[in-house]
Structure 1
Amino acid sequence: MRGLLSVTLLLLLLLTLSCEASRRNKNHKAGKHDKTRPTSDCPPAETQYGKCVPEHGDCGDGLRDAACREQSDKIHCRIPCNWKKDISDCKYKFAPWGSCGADTNTKSRSGTLKRALFNAECEASVTVSKPCVPKVKKTRGEKKTN
C-alpha cells in the first residue's frame, strides 16, 4: 500500500512539473527578440551608436550598432512610422504650423534642438513641411462616410 501511495505522489509531482513547463512555454512570445541589452563594462558616454536600421520596410523595430572600445554589438531600436527618417535620433521642440502657401500648397514649421539621442549629430534647428489639406466642415446631422 505504501508503494502505491509513493508511486501516486511521484506521478502527481511529475504531472505538476510538466504543466508548469508547458505554461512557461505558452507565455514565451514566438518570433520576438529579447530586447534586454547585454551587460557591458563600458559607460554610456563612451559608447558610439550607429543609425537605427529597421528590420522590415522603413519603420518599426530594428537594430543599431553599439561600439565601445573593442566591443561591438547590436541593440534593438524602433523608428516610429510617422517620423522623419533624417532626424529620427534628434528630438526637436516645434513651433505651430504656419499658414498654407498658395503657390506651393504646403505648410511648414521650424524646430529647435531639444535633445540628441545616442550621441547623434544633430542640426541646431530644422524646418519640416507637409502638404495642405483643406478642412471640410460638417453640418449638423451629417453622417460619417466610410
Structure 2
Amino acid sequence: MRRLFCVALLLLLALTLAAEANKRSKGHRGGGKHDKSRPASECTPAETQYGKCVPEHGDCGEGLRDATCKDHTDKISCKIPCNWKKDISDCKYKFGPWGSCEAATNTKSRSGTLKRALFNADCQSTVKVSKPCSPKVKKTRGDKKSN
C-alpha cells in the first residue's frame, strides 16, 4: 500500500512539473506582443521620436510606426481604433455630451479636452468633432405605442 502511494505521488509530481514547464515555454515564445511593440535600441521613451501610425489596410486597425533615436530607426506595431478620427488618433480626449441637431447642416457636434498624448504626439488642447444627426426619434419611457 505504501509503495502504491509513493508511485502515485511521484507520478503526480512529474505531471505537475511537466505542466509548469509547458506553461513557461508558451509564455516566452519569440516575437511576442511586447517584443514587436518596443524599439530594440537602448533609448528611453523620452529620447525616442515616434512617427504617425500608418494602418496596413484602410483607415484603421493594425499598422506600423517609426521609432527614431540616435540615428537608429525601428518599425514598431501600433493600432488605430476604428472609431477614432485620423487626425487625433494619437491623442486621447475627454468629450462632453452631444449638442442638439443643427437643421441647416443636419449634424450635431461636441468638444473634447486633451487627457493625454500618446507617443509624444503633437496634440491640440481642445477639439471639436461632429457627426450626422440620427433620423430616429427617441421615445421616452412614458410614451406608449399607438396601434
TM-score (norm 2): 0.68
2:129 — aligned with what? Answer: 128
Query: CA 1:130/1:137 → structure 2, altered by over 3 Å: closer, same or farther?
Result: closer
Q: Quick one: which amino acid aligns to residue 135 of structure 2?
A: P
- 3-state SS of paired residue (1:119): coil
Percent of matched pairs sharing the same residue: 76
- 3-state SS of paired residue (2:112): strand
TM superposition shift of 1:38 = 4.7
2:76 — aligned with what? Answer: 75
Q: Quick one: which amino acid aligns to residue 91 of structure 2?
A: C
Residues of 1 paired with 2:71 and 2:138: CA distance? 61
2:43 — aligned with what? Answer: 42
TM superposition shift of 1:34 = 4.7
1:3 — aligned with what? Answer: none
Residues of 2 paired with 1:137 and 1:72: CA distance? 52
1:17 — aligned with what? Answer: none
The answer for unaligned runs of 5 or more in structure 1 is 1-26, 28-32, 141-146
Query: CA 1:43/1:134 → structure 2, altered by over 3 Å: closer, same or farther?
Result: same
Q: Is 2:124 the partner of 1:110?
A: no
Residues of 1 paired with 2:138 and 2:90: CA distance? 37
Residues of 1 paired with 2:100 and 2:58: CA distance? 33
Any idea what the Cα deviations from partners look like across 1:31-82, whole Å, max 9, x if unmatched? xx75323543100000000000011111110000000112110000001112
- 3-state SS of paired residue (1:121): coil
The answer for unaligned runs of 5 or more in structure 2 is 1-25
Residues of 1 paired with 2:115 and 2:138: CA distance? 36
Q: Quick one: which amino acid aligns to residue 112 of structure 2?
A: G
Residues of 1 paired with 2:100 and 2:111: CA distance? 13
Residues of 1 paired with 2:137 and 2:101: CA distance? 15
Equivalent pairs counted in the alignment come to: 111
